[in-house]
Structure 1
Amino acid sequence: MKTIPRRTLAAGSFLAVGALALVGCTGGPGSGGDGSDSGAAGDNVVTVYGTISDTEAELLEQSWADWEEENDIDIQYEASKEFEAQIAVRAQGGNAPDIAIFPQPGLMGDMADLGFLQPASQEVADNVAEYWSEDWAKYGTYDGTLYGAPLMASVKGWVWYSPSFFADNGYEVPTDWQGLLDLTAQIQGDTGSAPWCVGFGSDAATGWPGTDWVEDVVLRQSGADVYDQWVTNEVPFTDPQIASAFDEVGKILKNPEYVNAGFGGTDTIVTTPFGDPASALVSGECALHHQASFFDGFITDAGGTVAEDGDIWAFLTPAFGDSSSEGAVVTGGGEIVAAFSDDEATQQVQAYLSSPEWANSRVSLGGVISANKGLDAENASSDILKEAIAILQDEGTTFRFDASDLMPSGVGTNTFFKGMNDWVNGSDTATVLEQIESGWPSS
């Protein structure tokens, strides 16, 4: 089983940060609550804290091993599934790491707002300016100050399918959203079975795959400006444009003739673990599945090959209307690396992690990608990951970070997740949108 994507471990972080804000921060930036140094574990030792665990953590440590030896710096990495709650507690208690790998830009902003993070060094800023797009730089910036550099990335919104199944039945990859709906109806009519397999299950974070569906449609249907205003609540969840996105997604997810192949009816969406549809795809029980670029690993684990002429391949969720002359429009996710300490060794590590040298080192080990412009796509471990890198590096691409990760945690990883579960289980759109909107902080 693949490691759960970092963004799914976010539930509960808003309460921890909110409690910290009430307690107050008596130390200056980069200090603990008593003004003491927040993280250095010793000369040439740099502590790094994040959610990346298990095999992915081993690969992370392998990615910087040669650099550690060359620079005489010991990077000590600690993984935690309680990162989002514990990073606030540790910072307040004077026990923050030197560096944290934040899975949500919003949480990094919370830490910067409370005065715990150090502004990025000039070397980090130079790397970000040269190797990262303005959008990615923005995700590491809070209140006009750059604090963090991006690390890894994912491209969301892929629709996974069997090329041989399409070829045998004369199906073509749709070029617009209506075409996707038409294809869904055609497969259902031809086979008499639901085409889509869907899983929202992810323990405390159950519901996040549903938010990805809505985010894809908001960006494609209403555009980047509306998406950006939605993230900041200038366009609330109750706005007709957001309701329209829910209704479009509902044409698939709430239709019992279209979902949930291999698992049951629409009532099984919430209880189906998000990785399980990989097996249904590979076995042929399911024809279509919506998930991010990381899903290729789940398909491989299920015994399938991911390639244009393999068992499973993918196309991006199509746009609304004709987009043949435009670049890709995609949502995605990633991590931001920020520092609590400003000692020299910490700055060196943070700069290295923002460099193309690190990106190529980690990507060449397999399973992940980066939006670093200095990354050689040929280092990626699969064709779909190479395709995702090309999309991220294309200047014509319209990219927006996962909306729920940019929103305050009280809504993004709380009421939005819960609202998706209620909605797909039968609650009406208007009621659910009001409930999600209630998660926004009052000030």
Structure 2
Amino acid sequence: MRPSLHRRITAPIAMAAIAGLALAGCSGGPGATTADSGAEGDGVVTVYGTIADTEAELLEESWAGWEKDNKIDIQYEQSKEFESQISIRAQGGNAPDIAIFPQPGLMKDLASRNFLKPAPDAVAANVDKNWSADWKAYGTVDDTLYGAPLMASIKGFVWYSPAKFTEWGVEVPTTWDELLAVTKTIQEKTGAAPWCAGFGSGDATGWPGTDWVEDLVLREAGAETYDKWIANEIPFTDPAIKGAFDSLGEILLNPDYVNATYGDVKSINSTPFGDVATPVANGTCALTHQASFFDGFITDAGGTVGPDADVWAFITPSVKAGGQAVTGGGEIVGAFSDDADTQKVLEYLSSADWANSRVGLGGVISANKGLDASKATSPILQEAITILQDPKTTFRFDGSDLMPGAVGSGTFWKGMVSWINGTPTDEVLTSIEAGWPSN
């Protein structure tokens, strides 16, 4: 889901805004931004979020029929400065009725200071019916539901050529060790580096590496350790986190395995993350690691995506076969008003009806259990929905998006760049951990 790229880049702004509000205090007081409790609506509900351009047009199209039927005008405002402005607007008494939060931490910060209204009973019922406990938790503060999940994305896909796998006599791996064995076989048969990788992303360079590490922490150490890690209950210097870096290093720090068509290991940092779609699409790169949105880059590069097409993908395997743990992102919707019309809109956005409407328009997915996967417009998005809806799937939100910005989009991103450049792992982990706020 391409909007997630924008959200990653703006993460430092979001956390800076939170920190600034914490220091400044609330001139209007918590709750000053909200409408009168239980008031009748005026037929207009304002929605504010990061979803922009074509995706914003599709968002508005997704609820157009419902608006007409319910005589409610949903007015959407897009902003590239959402993460910094939503907190400022809440404090200043100018909050929208509803906000679409790209980061659970930002939503929880506002909820914990009583700017957001608890979700209505009808919304809570929809969440219990349509979403897993993992997703519900991202909208919950102190056992109270404030936000409902909306859209989603899955990270951790490994993209490959089915035809080339057949030619090389290798199969899709089901364990991490099998993935390493497949990598070795391809390298031996082709004499070339199997993997291509790009960490380049302007000021956000390094974030694709954090996705890799998060995948491996979850798959190797498990969900409980992952949760403790993102809360800094265990540090980056913990053996479990170092183990994930060591495993990743078996691929990304091995000059025999990277960086296909681009150069040596260090070229990973200078290669824009989207550019690797071209060698994957034309078959000169055998493997790359990227999220579900990457299918758009593949098609833009002239390739086709599907089980029998030019390129397909499998989820990065766990240590043991059969494990289905994935990382990803998504949005949470919360309200600053609890008037009748706002509550109706929230109920609709948390429903399977809205999920099917939006996904059917293309380009996005949702983890809503009532979503018909066939509504998705590409095979990989259909596959991603199936994974998200599987009750056996363990889902965890992108770790760097949940950490304070000084770490998640600060020392963590920079640490990945330093690591690729050859800085010893222990030194990198110490420098990343140093970014955590002291309080």
Aligned position for 1:193 = 192
What is the letter of the counterpart of residue 402 of structure 1? Answer: D
Distance 1:2 1:102, change over 3 A: closer
The secondary structure found in structure 2 opposite 1:304 is: coil
Deviation, 1:441, is 2.1
Q: Structure 1, residues 92-142: CA drift from partner, whole Å, max 9, x if none? A: 222222111111111111111232111111111111111111110000111
Kept in 2, the 8 Å contact 1:198–1:277? The answer is yes
Aligned residue pairs, count: 436
Aligned position for 1:77 = 76
Matching residue within 344, 348, 364 for 1:368: 364
Confirm or deny that 1:24 pairs with 2:25: yes
**CA distance in 2 between partners of 1:55 and 1:273 (Å):** 23
The secondary structure found in structure 1 opposite 2:250 is: helix
Q: Structure 1, residues 360-379: CA drift from partner, whole Å, max 9, x if none? A: 00111111110001101111
Aligned position for 1:167 = 166
The secondary structure found in structure 2 opposite 1:389 is: helix
**1:347-386 mapped onto 2 (5 Å cutoff):** 347-386=343-382
**CA distance in 2 between partners of 1:260 and 1:216 (Å):** 20
Q: Structure 1, residues 130-186: CA drift from partner, whole Å, max 9, x if none? A: 111111000011122111000011121110000111111212111211111122122
**1:33-432 mapped onto 2 (5 Å cutoff):** 43-321=42-320, 323-324=321-322, 326=323, 328-432=324-428
The secondary structure found in structure 2 opposite 1:11 is: helix
What is the letter of the counterpart of residue 91 of structure 2? Answer: Q
Deviation, 1:329, is 1.5
Deviation, 1:218, is 0.6
Aligned-residue CA RMSD (Å): 2.0
**CA distance in 2 between partners of 1:246 and 1:196 (Å):** 17
Kept in 2, the 8 Å contact 1:176–1:318? The answer is yes
Kept in 1, the 8 Å contact 2:156–2:316? The answer is yes
**CA distance in 2 between partners of 1:110 and 1:279 (Å):** 40
* Structure 2 gaps, min length 5: none
What is the letter of the counterpart of residue 414 of structure 2? Answer: K
The secondary structure found in structure 2 opposite 1:330 is: strand
What is the letter of the counterpart of residue 387 of structure 1? Answer: E
**CA distance in 1 between partners of 2:195 and 2:31 (Å):** 48
Kept in 2, the 8 Å contact 1:403–1:412? The answer is yes
What is the letter of the counterpart of residue 315 of structure 2? Answer: L
**CA distance in 2 between partners of 1:54 and 1:36 (Å):** 29
Q: Structure 1, residues 176-209: CA drift from partner, whole Å, max 9, x if none? A: 1111112212222222221111122223322221
Kept in 2, the 8 Å contact 1:11–1:205? The answer is no
What is the letter of the counterpart of residue 16 of structure 2? Answer: L
Kept in 2, the 8 Å contact 1:47–1:76? The answer is yes
Shifted more, 158-167 versus 191-200: the winner is 191-200
Distance 1:106 1:358, change over 3 A: same
Distance 1:132 1:75, change over 3 A: same
What is the letter of the counterpart of residue 156 of structure 2? Answer: G
The secondary structure found in structure 2 opposite 1:193 is: coil
Kept in 1, the 8 Å contact 2:359–2:375? The answer is yes
**CA distance in 1 between partners of 2:105 and 2:61 (Å):** 28
Aligned position for 1:5 = 5
The secondary structure found in structure 1 opposite 2:273 is: coil
Shifted more, 167-176 versus 371-380: the winner is 167-176
**CA distance in 2 between partners of 1:97 and 1:22 (Å):** 23
Distance 1:391 1:100, change over 3 A: same
The secondary structure found in structure 2 opposite 1:386 is: helix
What is the letter of the counterpart of residue 68 of structure 2? Answer: E
What is the letter of the counterpart of residue 20 of structure 1? Answer: L
**CA distance in 2 between partners of 1:3 and 1:29 (Å):** 30
With structure 1 as the length reference, what TM-score do the two structures score? 0.94
Deviation, 1:25, is 1.7
The secondary structure found in structure 2 opposite 1:269 is: helix
The secondary structure found in structure 1 opposite 2:12 is: coil
Where in structure 1 do 4 or more consecutive aligned residues deviate above 4 Å? 1-4, 35-38
Aligned position for 1:439 = 435
Kept in 1, the 8 Å contact 2:155–2:328? The answer is yes
Deviation, 1:28, is 4.6
Kept in 1, the 8 Å contact 2:326–2:396? The answer is yes
Deviation, 1:86, is 1.8
Deviation, 1:6, is 4.4
**CA distance in 1 between partners of 2:110 and 2:2 (Å):** 29
Deviation, 1:7, is 3.5
Deviation, 1:37, is 7.7
Kept in 2, the 8 Å contact 1:8–1:202? The answer is no
**CA distance in 2 between partners of 1:263 and 1:49 (Å):** 41
**CA distance in 1 between partners of 2:128 and 2:101 (Å):** 20
The secondary structure found in structure 1 opposite 2:427 is: helix
